[in-house]
Structure formats: structure tokens, C-alpha cells
Amino acid sequence: MPGLRAPSDYSGEPPRHPCLRINSKEPFNAEPPRSLLISSYLTPADFFYKRNHGPVPIIDNIERYFISISALIEKPRQLWMKDIRILPKYNVAATLQCAGNRRTAMSKNKVVKGVGWGVSAIGNAVWSGAKLADVLELVGIPKLTSITQPGGKHVEFVSIDKCKEENGGPYKVSIPLDQATNPDADVLLAYEMNGEPLNRDHGYPLRVVVPGVIGARSVKWLDSINIIAEESQCVICSLEDVSTIKPGKVKISGYAVAGGGRGIETVDVSVDGGRTWLEASRFQKSGIPYVADDANSDKWAWVLFEITVDILHSTEIIAKAVDSAANVQPQQVEDIWNLRGILNTSWHRVHVQAGHSNM
């Protein structure tokens, strides 16, 4: 991102207070002595524990810093610091704490993995900034006003840093959309800590503060916010990749499933590499030996689809689904690749070869 840059090495780290007990130097993880920790109700930034995942990002030009917000269906929206500062400013006292606080005491019992924290991977500060619920409303995502269907969407925060655990990719976590859009949850995009601008170790120029949960969700050096939906999937099962077919009518069938209790609106199939699309029909309602309470509901269930198309030449067949909240799937697996290999929800593609004899 112009304006803010993630270095690949640790030559540009900020100065730190000498009192800190260093648990890991690169990335920098440190905590204050326990006696100092309770010397004031608000923990000064200098003494506040640091828990970094890579080198601290470097500001090239703060005037050019912005964050991107994407909600799958729309083009990402860019928000500049002025867009965030113009929203109502809230001051929230919140304690942040590393989930690994007091890990050392746990490892006395039996060895554990992770940075060896003492009892001071915790701090309390007044964080100031815009409420995330206001920011999301600004880009068209309404505030929480009633109990909604759980298990649905999440809000992902992506840092700009190069994170050791992610093989050099950025640090990212997510929280439920219900929490993000609930003003009473006090989730902030914060630009101040204890009345001063954030310092570099604590996320300058902008960080997330999610009160009441482990500190890991309070992403620093914010780069982007993504609204993500779980598990919309659409897979062709009638053909292997690669299949040889006889040119002519070919039946294509498979399953589609949407996460979070959203239904599948349509399944579209393309046999020309995505230039044109045909809507498939459903066939799941026939021959059910045993029915759910509401036989008309496929809220939590998959949809089986089929369509017969003319295929005359070797080609790539693509299937994609749109759920009832109008979410579409990502086109390419490259866009959603992750080390754990989970949630591959990209368009499904199978290649067919048209054979002309001995079929």
C-alpha cells in the first residue's frame, strides 16, 4: 500500500523502553516487569506489552494511507484517515491481553508451545477512534438491530505486516459480523492510545481494538477489512477432471451449498470459459425417503443441480453458485489460497476432451 510499507527485515524497528523483558527479539515480543505494570490504571504505551508477528511497518507517506473494505459482491471501498476521523470519536477504556499471558506458569505443569510469557502480557488503555459499526454503516452494511441468524458472516481484519506464522503473508483474524455491527460491542478502529497518536509498536496509524476477547483479534497496522461468508461451494460431480465425452448433449450435475443458513439462489454453468452462463435446475426434492420438519426448507442443506448442454469441442466447464444474500464465489483458487488449505470456495472447473470415435 502506498503510504505504509511492510519491511522484510528488522533494521527499521522503533526504539523500546529498556525496562521491558524481551521474550522474542524478532518479531519483537516483550512485557514490563510485574511491579511496574500496576503502577497506574492506564498503562503507558512504552510499558504496554508488545506482541508483533513480523517487522514493524514503516510509514513512507501518511497522507497516502488508506484502508480497503470489501464485501464480496462489491468493488472494494477505500477509506482515508479523514473519512474515519470525520465519524464520531469514542474513547473506550479496554484491557488487552495476550492469550499466552501466564503461559510460563502453564509450562511448569507440562511443556507447551509458544512465546514464554510471564504475567504481564496485558495492559489497560483508553483507545480512541471510530466505532467499527459506524465505519461499516458508511460502506452500506447496516447496524445490528435484532437477533440474526448465527453462523453466517465474519469480518476479517488484515494487517499490512509480513507475519512469521503466515510464511510472510499478512497477519489476519476475524470476528463475527454480529459483533462488528453491534455498537454496544465497542469495537473500534483506533488512532489514539491514552490521548496520544498510536506509536509504531501499537499499530500506527490505525488499529482494531476488540474489547473483551483475546488481544490477537485487535489487529495493528490495518490494511483491509473483508466481509466473508462461510463455505459457499459449488461442485460438478458428474464429470471427473479430465473426462472424455462424446460431442453432443452432456448432462452436468453436482451440489451447491451456502454457509450460515443462507439458501442457494441459483447455480450457473458455463461451457465457454465463463463468457456465457446457463442456469441449472434443481432436483433434490424428489425421492426423499425421510423428511425434515419443514420439507420446503433447504436452509441448512445442499442443493443438487443439473443441466444438459451441447458440447462440441474440448473445453473447460465452470459452475458457480449465488446464495440468497447475493454472495458469489471467488473466481480463482489463487485468490483464497491459505497454508492450511481450508475453505476452498472458488468456482469449480473441470476440463473435458471431446472424443470422436469408439465412445
Binders in 6-25 for its own copies, by CB under 8 A: none
| Nearer to its own copies (CB atom), residue 12 or residue 195 | 195
Q: Which amino acid is at 316?
A: E
**How far apart are CB 138 and its own copies at their closest, in Å?**
21
In the list 257, 267, 311, 317, the residue contacting its own copies (rule: CB under 8 A) is 257
Among 209, 13, 17, smallest CA distance to 120 is for 17
Report the site for its own copies in 306-335 (rule: CB under 8 A). 333-334
CA 36 to centroid of chain Cα atoms: 36
Beta bridge partners of 172: 158
Q: Is 261 in the site for its own copies (CB under 8 A)?
A: yes
| Nearer to its own copies (CB atom), residue 293 or residue 310 | 293
In the list 62, 86, 242, 301, the residue contacting its own copies (rule: CB under 8 A) is 301
Report the site for its own copies in 48-87 (rule: CB under 8 A). none
**How far apart are CB 317 and its own copies at their closest, in Å?**
14
**How far apart are CB 159 and its own copies at their closest, in Å?**
20
In whole angstroms, give the CA distance from residue 176 to residue 185.
11
Among 203, 208, 197, 183, smallest CA distance to 94 is for 208
| Nearer to its own copies (CB atom), residue 91 or residue 308 | 91
In the list 288, 310, 356, 357, the residue contacting its own copies (rule: CB under 8 A) is 288
Near its own copies by CB under 8 A, which window of 146-154, 218-226, 265-273, 316-324?
A: 146-154
Q: Is 353 in the site for its own copies (CB under 8 A)?
A: no
Q: Is 150 in the site for its own copies (CB under 8 A)?
A: yes
Cell numbers for 223:
490494511
In whole angstroms, give the CA distance from residue 62 to residue 123.
27
Near its own copies by CB under 8 A, which window of 11-19, 63-71, 102-110, 220-228?
A: 102-110
| Nearer to its own copies (CB atom), residue 95 or residue 353 | 95
| Nearer to its own copies (CB atom), residue 52 or residue 253 | 253
Q: Would you call 217 helix, strand, or coil by DSSP?
A: helix
Cell numbers for 144:
445490528
243 CB burial (10 A radius; 0-12, 13-18, 19+):
middle
Report the site for its own copies in 193-212 (rule: CB under 8 A). 194-195, 210-212
Q: Is 190 in the site for its own copies (CB under 8 A)?
A: no
Q: Does the CA dihedral 225-227-229-232 come out positive or negative?
A: negative
Q: Is 97 in the site for its own copies (CB under 8 A)?
A: yes
Q: Is 280 in the site for its own copies (CB under 8 A)?
A: no
In the list 310, 339, 356, 358, the residue contacting its own copies (rule: CB under 8 A) is 339
Contact 59, 4 (CB under 8 A): yes
**How far apart are CB 292 and its own copies at their closest, in Å?**
4
In whole angstroms, give the CA distance from residue 214 to residue 101.
10
Report the site for its own copies in 108-137 (rule: CB under 8 A). 108-110, 112-114, 119-120, 122, 124, 126
In whole angstroms, give the CA distance from residue 117 to residue 30.
8
| Nearer to its own copies (CB atom), residue 12 or residue 273 | 273
Contact 229, 152 (CB under 8 A): yes
Q: Is 291 in the site for its own copies (CB under 8 A)?
A: yes
**How far apart are CB 307 and its own copies at their closest, in Å?**
13
Q: Which amino acid is at 251?
A: K
Write the CB contacts of 16 (distance below 8 Å, at least 6 apart in sequence). 28, 30, 46, 50, 201
What secondary structure, in 3-state letters, does 86-151 show? CCCCEEEEEEEECCCCCHHHHHHHCCCCCCCCCCCCEEEEEEEEEEHHHHHHHCCCCCCCCCCCCC
Near its own copies by CB under 8 A, which window of 158-166, 220-228, 277-285, 323-331?
A: 277-285
